[in-house]
């Protein structure tokens, strides 16, 4: 059920509870902002005054002459619950709790916060915060923050978990003249979280781009569900802080949020098409470009410059960003050759030389923009006495208008001056000193165009034997055995993941018998919950002649018993001997925020050394499974390089898809490794398995 946040985001009347007449107090700064920005009815609530800044002041919420759309609360923490209750009784459905002293401040604060959650539920209140800077809605002209600066109107909706970051962004955005549709400080997210605002911003016609600074996500599944839909409509750009381990700890002590692991966030964002910014600069570079520019049809970039060095740097950046340096059509090349001086470079990057005046620059830009093989253009320039920045800006603004293609520029100069900057801003052309940043501002457009064109797919139904897996897991729980391995290989076959032929033998005699049906040579592996890395422990024998299996099994067990006197040796797994192949690892770990996180990579015994792995949040569609396999650096090895045959990729992708189904179906599988899956040109086959079963229901 979606919440209606219109009363919060577009209020028609506002009360500030705890408004103060004492300069320096938050209640003063806040009320002053509200009173000076909002043209609708405003009340102050404070028993000390009858009037404040020319607005009526009443002693309590109960005394308000009408229920307002939005109550902003700035009273001390211990009084907040009482005020929220009064709001509920008064029929006020939207409340922003500015006050701190809740979950972020320890046990007592956490208790107070639970009380707020309970009240909000009982009275169906949209409660923002607590512990927030406030919110701004430029559409209704409301600044309900205590920040020294408000926001200019614009098309970016911004939300932030850090209130301090909100103030910094407001300050900087003012100077940059970057405007916002909405500006929301999320604070402790006790009731309203990023998910509710994502939906609300998606529906707001004023908002073109949604930008968020997040330290943690409250409900990973809800985020994925919502963000997936929203990101197809409008770009969603997120700066997720708490990437490094040390950073993650700082986050949890800061707002009381447990930050999930970085790989999980990365994978979840990729799954939904959320664009991740690595830092503040990227966050707003992306936001600006996405808000102001059209989307390109492809990734081919044309570069125009009057300075060789800038062109070289831009070319490097285009390649670094994974864009393509466009190849011009013959017609464009011919026209450039006709029109540009002999010494000019007419191939991309087009260098029209330092003596170029405005007409030459204009002609080059127009020819490049007009080329059908060019999807986007980076325009460059170095300070030149014969060409003003305003002239350059005007040429680019005209080209943007005429060709409708994304454009970014770098004039590699200090000050461009008011006129040039105004023209560029008016045309929505991102301008940077650094050509690399100009290329990056285009890359994000190409990335988002890709998000938009992605098919709306999901996991497909697969024929699987749920019951077989359920039995294995129930047995493990009944016998209190959390660590399972090869003896439970049938869970893989039950989900259609091919496994090597073999079986579990409790004794060496049975191992000998089992070996008979498995070929001339077999592989022996110890089965023990206490031995995790079997080959490291000397618990794997590859290529044992079938006739010597019993004898070898005795020897293996005896040696292990000597080396690991305490270990419980359950028996042996006897497996067919497979030819050498590519070894990959396929596994799953549960992330506290996003749930089952599938890992795929080059595997075998060197997985920790290679560290070539990629992650995705289960369950996976066939396309996502394929994306995961393609996502590792070593993918060319799997595809086949230098005349070596590749592996059976469709079979591998299907195994990934099926494993993702298995772990999504059985939340009691806490962790799992298939290492390795042996891959061949015509099949893939799992030869090792290890997993942990959560013993408690629901963990």
Residue recorded with tokens 């809740």 = 102
Place of tokens 């493990």: 476
Q: Which of residues 590-619 bind ligand ADP (CB under 6 A)?
A: 604-605
Nearer to Mg ion, 121 or 611 (CB): 611
> Is the CB of 93 or the CB of 587 nearer to ligand ADP?
587
Closest contact distance (angstroms) between CB of 553 and Mg ion is: 19
Of positions 131, 575, 593, 660, contacts ligand ADP by CB under 6 A: 575
SS3 content of the chain, % helix, strand, coil (to 5): 40, 20, 35
**Least distance in angstroms from the C-beta of 528 to ligand ADP:** 10
Burial of 366 (0-12, 13-18, 19+ CB in 10 A): middle
Binding of ligand ADP at residue 474 (CB under 6 A)?
A: no
Contact between 574 and 523 (Cβ < 8 Å):
yes
| Window 118 to 137, contacts with Mg ion (CB under 5 A) | none
- Quick check: 188 and 130 in contact, CB under 8 A? yes
CA dist 461 → 336, 616, 619, 658 (Å): 55, 19, 11, 10
Cβ–Cβ < 8 Å for 144, 34: yes
Does 577 participate in binding ligand ADP (rule CB under 6 A)? yes
Nearer to Mg ion by Cβ, of 624 and 688: the residue is 688
Q: Which of 34, 525, 675, 679 binds Mg ion (CB under 5 A)?
A: 675
594 versus 600: smaller Cβ distance to ligand ADP: 600
Stretch that binds ligand ADP, among 52-60, 97-105, 575-583, 639-647 (CB under 6 A): 575-583
d(CA 554, CA 562): 12
> Residue for token digits 């090792």?
688
Decide if residue 182 touches ligand ADP (CB under 6 A): no
Burial class (CB in 10 A: 0-12, 13-18, 19+), 520: exposed
Residue 271 engages ligand ADP in binding (rule: CB under 6 A): no
Q: How far is the CB of 607 from Mg ion (least distance, A)?
A: 9
Residue 179 · residue 138 · CB < 8 Å:
yes
Instruction: Quickly tell me which residue has 């943007």 as its tokens.
Output: 400
Q: How far is the CB of 512 from Mg ion (least distance, A)?
A: 24
Binding span for Mg ion by CB under 5 A among 438-446, 573-581, 645-653, 669-677: 669-677
CA dist 669 and 695 (Å) reads 9
Other beta carbons within 10 angstroms of residue 679's beta carbon come to: 22
Of 112-120, 429-437, 577-585, 634-642, the window that binds ligand ADP (rule: CB under 6 A) is 577-585
Interacting residues of 245 by C-beta distance below 8 A, sequence separation 6+: none
Burial class (CB in 10 A: 0-12, 13-18, 19+), 185: buried
- Asked if 684 is part of the footprint of ligand ADP (rule: CB under 6 A), the reply reads no
Closer to Mg ion by Cβ: residue 189 or 690: 690
From 350-358, 405-413, 530-538, 637-645, span contacting ligand ADP (CB under 6 A): 530-538
Q: Which of ligand ADP, Mg ion, none does residue 500 bind (CB under 5 to 8 Å by kind)?
A: ligand ADP
Q: Which residues pair with 22 in a beta bridge?
A: none
Report if residue 688 touches Mg ion, rule: CB under 5 A. Answer: yes
User: Does residue 552 belong to the site contacting ligand ADP (CB under 6 A)?
Assistant: no
Query: Least distance to Mg ion from the beta carbon of 500, Å?
Result: 12
- Give the C-alpha separation, 670 to 699, whole Å: 8
Q: Does 583 bind ligand ADP (CB under 6 A)?
A: yes
Note whether 501 binds ligand ADP by CB under 6 A.
no
Stretch touching ligand ADP by CB under 6 A, among 148-156, 294-302, 476-484, 534-542: 534-542
Query: Does residue 687 belong to the site contacting ligand ADP (CB under 6 A)?
Result: yes
Q: How far is the CB of 559 from ligand ADP (least distance, A)?
A: 15
Q: Which residues pair with 594 in a beta bridge?
A: none
Q: Of the listed pieces 1-9, 56-64, 508-516, 671-679, which binds Mg ion according to CB under 5 A?
A: 671-679
- Contact segment (CB under 5 A) with Mg ion among 177-185, 372-380, 513-521, 667-675 equals 667-675
List, in order, residues 6 or more apart from 83 with CB less than 8 Å away: 17, 18, 61, 71, 73, 75
Query: 630 Cβ partners below 8 Å, 6+ apart?
Result: none
**Residue 212: left if φ>0, alpha if ψ -120 to 50, beta else—which one?**
beta
Q: Is 446 or 557 the residue whose CB approaches ligand ADP more closely?
A: 557
264 binds, among Mg ion, ligand ADP, none (CB under 5 to 8 A by kind): none
Site track for ligand ADP across 29-68, x = CB under 6 A: ----------------------------------------
Among 521, 535, 621, 692, binds ligand ADP (CB under 6 A): 535
Phi, psi (deg, nearest 5) at residue 135: -145, 155
List of residues 6+ apart from 320 with CB closer than 8 A: 436, 439
- Take residue 44 and report the two structure tokens written for it: 């102050």
Tell me the closest approach of the beta carbon of residue 229 to Mg ion, in angstroms.
40
| Binder among 234, 425, 534, 570 for ligand ADP (CB under 6 A) | 534
Q: Binding of ligand ADP at residue 527 (CB under 6 A)?
A: no
Cα–Cα distance measured from residue 16 to residue 35, given in angstroms and rounded to the nearest whole number: 10
Q: How many residues bind ligand ADP (CB under 6 A)?
A: 19
**Ramachandran area for residue 177 (φ above 0: left; ψ -120 to 50: alpha; else beta):** left
Binding site for Mg ion (CB under 5 A): 675, 688
Binding site for ligand ADP (CB under 6 A): 500, 523, 525, 533-535, 540, 542, 575-578, 583, 604-605, 675-676, 687-688
């Amino acid at each position: 059920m979606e919440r209606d946040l219109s009363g919060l985001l577009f209020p028609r009347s506002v009360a500030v509870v705890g408004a103060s007449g004492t300069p320096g107090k938050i209640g003063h700064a806040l009320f002053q902002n509200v009173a000076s920005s909002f043209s609708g009815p405003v009340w102050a609530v404070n028993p000390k005054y009858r009037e404040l800044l020319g607005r009526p002041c009443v002693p309590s919420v109960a005394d308000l002459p009408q229920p307002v759309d939005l109550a902003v609360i700035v009273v001390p923490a211990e009084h907040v619950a009482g005020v929220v209750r009064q709001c509920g009784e008064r029929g006020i459905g939207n409340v922003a709790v500015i006050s701190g002293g809740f979950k972020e401040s320890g046990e007592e604060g956490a208790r107070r916060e639970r009380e707020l959650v309970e009240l909000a539920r009982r009275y169906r209140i949209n409660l923002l915060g607590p512990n927030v800077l406030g919110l701004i809605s430029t559409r209704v002209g409301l600044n309900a923050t205590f920040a020294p600066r408000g926001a200019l109107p614009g098309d970016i909706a911004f939300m932030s978990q850090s209130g301090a970051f909100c103030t910094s962004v407001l300050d900087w955005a003012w100077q940059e003249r970057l405007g916002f549709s909405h500006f929301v400080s999320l604070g402790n997210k006790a009731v309203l979280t990023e998910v509710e605002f994502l939906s609300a911003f998606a529906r707001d016609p004023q908002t073109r781009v949604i930008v968020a600074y997040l330290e943690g996500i409250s409900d990973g599944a809800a985020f994925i569900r919502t963000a997936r839909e929203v990101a197809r409509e409008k770009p969603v750009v997120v700066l997720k802080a708490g990437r490094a381990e040390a950073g993650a700890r700082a986050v949890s002590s800061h707002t009381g949020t447990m930050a999930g692991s970085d790989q999980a966030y990365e994978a979840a964002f990729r799954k939904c098409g959320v664009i991740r910014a690595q830092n503040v600069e990227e966050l707003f570079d992306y936001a600006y470009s996405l808000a102001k520019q059209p989307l390109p049809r492809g990734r081919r970039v044309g570069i125009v410059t009057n300075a060789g060095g800038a062109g070289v740097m831009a070319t490097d950046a285009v390649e670094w960003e994974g864009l393509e340096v466009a190849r011009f059509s013959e017609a464009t090349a011919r026209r450039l050759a006709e029109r540009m001086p002999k010494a000019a470079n007419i191939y991309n990057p087009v260098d029209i030389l330092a003596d170029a005046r405005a007409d030459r620059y204009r002609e080059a830009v127009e020819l490049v923009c007009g080329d059908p093989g060019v999807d986007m253009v980076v325009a460059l320039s170095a300070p030149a006495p014969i060409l003003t920045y305003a002239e350059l800006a005007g040429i680019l603004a005209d080209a943007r208008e005429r060709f409708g293609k994304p454009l970014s520029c770098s004039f590699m100069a200090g000050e461009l001056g008011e006129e040039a900057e105004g023209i560029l801003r008016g045309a929505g052309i991102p301008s940077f000193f650094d050509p690399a940043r100009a290329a990056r501002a285009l890359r994000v457009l190409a990335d988002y165009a890709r998000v938009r064109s992605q098919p709306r797919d999901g996991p497909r139904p697969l024929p699987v034997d749920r019951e077989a897996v359920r039995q294995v897991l129930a047995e493990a729980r009944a016998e209190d055995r959390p660590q399972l391995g090869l003896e439970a290989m049938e869970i893989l076959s039950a989900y259609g993941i091919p496994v090597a032929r073999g079986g579990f033998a409790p004794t060496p005699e049975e191992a000998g018998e089992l070996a008979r049906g498995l070929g001339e040579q077999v592989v022996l592996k110890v089965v023990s919950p206490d031995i995790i890395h079997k080959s490291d422990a000397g618990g794997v024998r590859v290529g044992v002649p079938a006739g010597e299996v019993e004898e070898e099994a005795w020897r293996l067990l005896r040696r292990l018993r000597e080396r690991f006197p305490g270990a419980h040796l359950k028996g042996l797994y006897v497996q067919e001997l497979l030819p050498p192949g590519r070894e990959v690892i396929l596994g799953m770990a549960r992330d506290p925020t996003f749930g089952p996180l599938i890992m795929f990579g080059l595997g075998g015994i060197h997985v920790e050394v290679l560290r070539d792995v990629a992650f995705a949040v289960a369950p996976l569609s066939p396309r996502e499974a394929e994306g995961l396999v393609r996502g590792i650096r070593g993918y060319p090895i799997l595809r086949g390089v230098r005349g070596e045959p590749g592996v059976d990729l469709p079979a591998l992708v299907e195994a990934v898809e099926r494993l993702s189904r298995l772990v999504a179906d059985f939340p009691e599988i806490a962790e799992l490794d298939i290492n390795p899956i042996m891959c061949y040109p015509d099949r893939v086959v799992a030869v090792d398995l290890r997993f942990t079963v959560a013993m408690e229901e629901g963990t």
